Structure 1
């Protein structure tokens, strides 16, 4: 029987993520101070840190002597910065026009719209800067860095997160069929979650067959994450969510709840969680953190 304690792992790895983010964010005394203060406000203002946690968990599937901890930390910070930049830009009036994020004013409300735009720009470029910096002369590490950069760029761009957001904005007030909705969310939300798992797998130097299993896990998890988001937007309140509840319905956005109903969405989330867990069958106790993260994503209340 496994003695793995997810609570202890979660506490340790969450602190690891926060410490790494503090290390790679410029201090608010650095010029320009206003921008760096706003960047820190955006990144360090809470959040579940699901993406860094997925990087850490996937990296544990490799032999400990083959995993470069510094590279893993850089990858975890890079993907969290990309995620945060996307939230800052999504909240702008020209996009989703939201005033609340992580239980406090969004960046453009706490500062101003121009600063929020620059915060997103700066976090995006900082992500690739820290991921590309030379940390080791070892050729395998350098190859891993390049593969990570390619993965993160693809997940963030027009065929990933940015493209999914574009499709989302284009379909406000319109009807989408289920395959189109799934593809949109696979890009908008799923791509970055998939990338997080891939970054950990790359750091662990996993063989192609194992990476394929991780792909199946992350694809199901990414879709489940969005399905649960749709459920919570329809059922939870703003205080619980830390962001404005009911925005999807108010903006007439297509979601799993509006398209197929709440019961369908709840059943789909459970089915996707099962699919994610089944894909980890080839792994032993080293995948316990990934298993627990699947439960955390689907069973969360905010």
Structure 2
């Protein structure tokens, strides 16, 4: 019998989780033209144990829009999002970026292999993500929309731009508005894209997409606040990465600006607002609400 979920365990459907893992493994196989070490390093980074929140968001959004039948249609988008997320972590961990040596409870890619390999792993995952979308999403017009959507979320005005501003802000005083701008792009963009990709893959309506994007906006903001809180008071074994590193690197965080308790309250407010954003879906969005509530629990 499976163990009962704990406060650290997201309420994720086991069958859906296995679908995601199977698809990730399939798309992480390459022919003989891919050097053996590169392929190994890609799989090491992509298949590392993780909660897969973003691919689950893709599939839950698809299901909310189109029912269970839409989940299979959205699976390539779920894989693509996780590849973008994994690439961003591999590059963020590099010495020239956030300089981390632990990720998901294991040595980071550049520590397990080397820096050059880690850079190439990120390059490979970034490009593979769009191959998966272009060949896996049907019809072609829908695939093109998904490619454009994910490229925007991963690009210089979103994820990459947020990371650039985050690095530039180290050891500098920035206010709350600037901090929110950084994380709206660095963290929030991929949350929003995950929800919208699921809706597009399921051919959801404009109203459904709008509600899901707002849900993703609120959830991504809450997730970052919780992440900052975990860096202050989390358990390293549970978090799976070094804690206390934000202060060491001179990063401005929500707890450093607002305080720990006000940050917790703000995260809770955002989770409530996220759940309200998808009221129109009724019972179909209950798994999304449960996932949002899990994100909030992680700060305790």
Normalising by structure 2, report the TM-score: 0.93
Report if aligned partners of 1:28, 1:36 keep a CA contact under 8 Å in 2: no
Could you list the runs of 5+ residues in structure 2 that have no partner in the other structure?
A: none
The answer on 1:95 being equivalent to 2:97 is: yes
Find the aligned partners of 1:150 and 1:195 in 2 and give their Cα distance: 10
Relative to structure 1, the CA distance from residue 65 to residue 244 in structure 2 (aligned partners, 3 Å threshold; closer, same or farther) is closer
Find the aligned partners of 2:68 and 2:283 in 1 and give their Cα distance: 18
Equivalent position to 1:38, from 36, 41, 44: 41
Relative to structure 1, the CA distance from residue 208 to residue 194 in structure 2 (aligned partners, 3 Å threshold; closer, same or farther) is same
Equivalences for residues 36-185 of structure 1 within 5 A: 36-64=39-67, 67=70, 69=72, 71-133=73-135, 136=138, 141-185=139-183
Secondary structure (helix, strand or coil) at the match of 1:62 reads helix
Q: RMSD of the TM alignment (CA)? A: 2.0
Report if aligned partners of 1:92, 1:98 keep a CA contact under 8 Å in 2: yes
Any runs of at least 4 consecutive aligned residues in structure 1 with deviations exceeding 6 A, and if so which?
Answer: 5-8
Superposed CA offset, 1:202-245 (max 9, x none) = 11211111211112111000000000000000001322211010
Report if aligned partners of 1:164, 1:184 keep a CA contact under 8 Å in 2: yes
Question: Mean alpha-carbon deviation: is it higher for 26-35 or for 232-241?
Answer: 26-35
The size of the alignment, in residue pairs, is: 293
* Cα shift at 1:186: 0.5
Normalising by structure 1, report the TM-score: 0.92
Find the aligned partners of 1:7 and 1:103 in 2 and give their Cα distance: 17
User: In the alignment, which residue of structure 1 is the partner of 2:198?
Assistant: 200
Secondary structure (helix, strand or coil) at the match of 1:253 reads coil
Equivalences for residues 12-27 of structure 1 within 5 A: 12-26=15-29
